[in-house]
């Protein structure tokens, strides 16, 4: 019961932040979803690479230890690891294609800055 009360308390504290962060148009909502999926896919690709290299290194150590089944196991690990990494990178590319096709292909909307707030390097302070 106390965990539920704590959850309700924090939910009530975070409600205004969630309301202010709400997108106003469908395009803003879709951009947020695509950016979230893109960031998630980047994290998954990095995690997949780490797991892939960890598995290969442990299998190579088992191969040098003289275990007979390690040779077939490492071949299967290489094969399926490359397939999985290819699929993850392909999903990342498909998300970029969807974003470019549906929303004009610019990531400027996702940066959080409007055109007025972005740096203009042609201003007097940057030109000498």
Of 56, 105, 102, 104, the closest CA to residue 77 belongs to 56
Distance CA 70, CA 68 (A): 6
The tens digit of pLDDT for each residue in 37-91 reads: 878 878 888 898 998 888 888 877 877 766 666 677 778 888 888 898 898 888 8
Tokens 């940066």 correspond to what residue?
111
**Residue 35 pLDDT greater than 70, yes or no:** yes
Q: Which residues contact 59 (CB under 8 A, 6 or more apart)?
A: 70, 73, 74, 77
Distance CA 114, CA 57 (A): 46
> Is residue 46 packed enough to be buried (19+ CB in 10 Å), middle (13-18) or exposed (0-12)?
exposed
For the chain, what are the domain ranges? 24-103
The tens digit of pLDDT for each residue in 53-67 reads: 888 888 778 777 666
Distance CA 80, CA 69 (A): 17
């Amino acid at each position: 019961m106390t965990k539920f009360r704590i959850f309700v308390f924090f939910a009530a504290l975070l409600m205004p932040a969630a309301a202010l962060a709400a997108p106003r148009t469908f395009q803003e909502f879709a951009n947020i979803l695509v950016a979230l999926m893109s960031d998630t896919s980047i994290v998954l690709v990095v995690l997949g690479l780490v797991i892939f290299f960890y598995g290969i290194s442990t299998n190579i150590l088992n191969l040098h230890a003289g275990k007979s089944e390690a040779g077939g196991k490492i071949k299967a690990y290489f094969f399926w690891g490359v397939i999985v990494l290819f699929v993850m990178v392909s999903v990342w590319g498909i998300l970029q294609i969807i974003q470019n096709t549906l929303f004009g292909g610019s990531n400027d909307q996702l940066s959080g800055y409007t055109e007025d707030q972005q740096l203009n390097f042609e201003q007097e302070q940057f030109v000498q």
